[in-house]
């Protein structure tokens, strides 16, 4: 990114708005509404606060009979968001499995590298073939590896021929084109 672009991004205008209840709330850039969850001391949701740039706010108290539906929606959204930008179905599955593992450990937020799971399913299968390890052993090995490390593994002289073959097989299955017949016509 050019230095001029970074400077423009760094100068996002912030407007401090006096809310109708006396709070001061900062709205950055073109934001017109901010959302925040307010919790009770026991950790339960007290309300969802929506602050509007016009100084008004709404404290939405979720109806108890919709709690389970709202919770399920949140989990669906969180798990589904992990596949954003991932095209390969096997990579999508791995991304969700990795997120689920982090969530089970109590890790809600983790900065994700762009395309962090892209191509991982082929790498996973290649490493299983190369090492003779189980899928769970190789998944554990890949856990926490950066995209740069995964790319390096994919391009390793020992693993790359397997990766190339697996990707070729995957492409031919997706294409559903009889290349042998096409080549015979050549």
pLDDT digits (tens, 9 = 90+) for 48-106: 999 999 999 999 999 999 999 999 999 999 999 888 888 888 888 888 988 898 899 88
> Are 178 and 127 part of one and the same domain?
yes
The tens digit of pLDDT for each residue in 11-46 reads 889 999 999 999 999 999 999 999 999 999 999 999
Note whether 37 and 125 are same-domain residues.
no
Please give the C-alpha separations between residue 69 and each of 15, 42, 46, 74, in angstroms, as whole numbers: 35, 20, 17, 9
Reported as a pLDDT band with limits 50, 70 and 90, residue 150 is: confident
5 domain-assigned: no
Q: What is the pLDDT of residue 34?
A: 97
Number of domains making up the chain: 2
Same domain, 179 and 101: yes
Residue 2 in this model has a pLDDT that exceeds 60? no
Whether residue 115 has pLDDT greater than 50: no
Last residue of a domain, one of 62, 94, 118: 62
**Phi/psi of residue 172, each to 5°?**
-65, -35
- 113 CB contacts (<8 Å, ≥6 apart)? 146, 147
């Amino acid at each position: 990114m050019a230095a001029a672009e970074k400077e423009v991004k760094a100068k996002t205008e912030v407007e401090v708005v006096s809310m109708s209840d006396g709070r001061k709330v900062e709205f950055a850039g073109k934001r017109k509404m901010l959302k925040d969850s307010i919790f009770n001391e026991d950790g339960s949701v007290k309300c969802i606060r929506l602050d509007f740039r016009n100084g008004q706010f709404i404290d939405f108290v979720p109806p108890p009979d919709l709690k389970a539906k709202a919770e399920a929606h949140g989990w669906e959204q969180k798990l589904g968001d992990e596949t954003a930008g991932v095209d390969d179905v096997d990579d999508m599955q791995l991304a969700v499995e990795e997120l689920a593992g982090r969530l089970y450990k109590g890790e809600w937020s983790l900065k994700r590298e762009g395309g962090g799971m892209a191509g991982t399913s082929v790498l996973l299968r290649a490493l299983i073939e190369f090492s003779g390890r189980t899928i769970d052993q190789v998944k554990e090995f890949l856990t926490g590896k950066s995209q740069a490390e995964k790319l390096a593994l994919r391009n390793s002289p020992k693993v790359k021929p397997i990766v190339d073959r697996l990707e070729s097989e995957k492409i031919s299955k997706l294409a559903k084109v009889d290349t042998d017949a096409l080549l015979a016509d050549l």
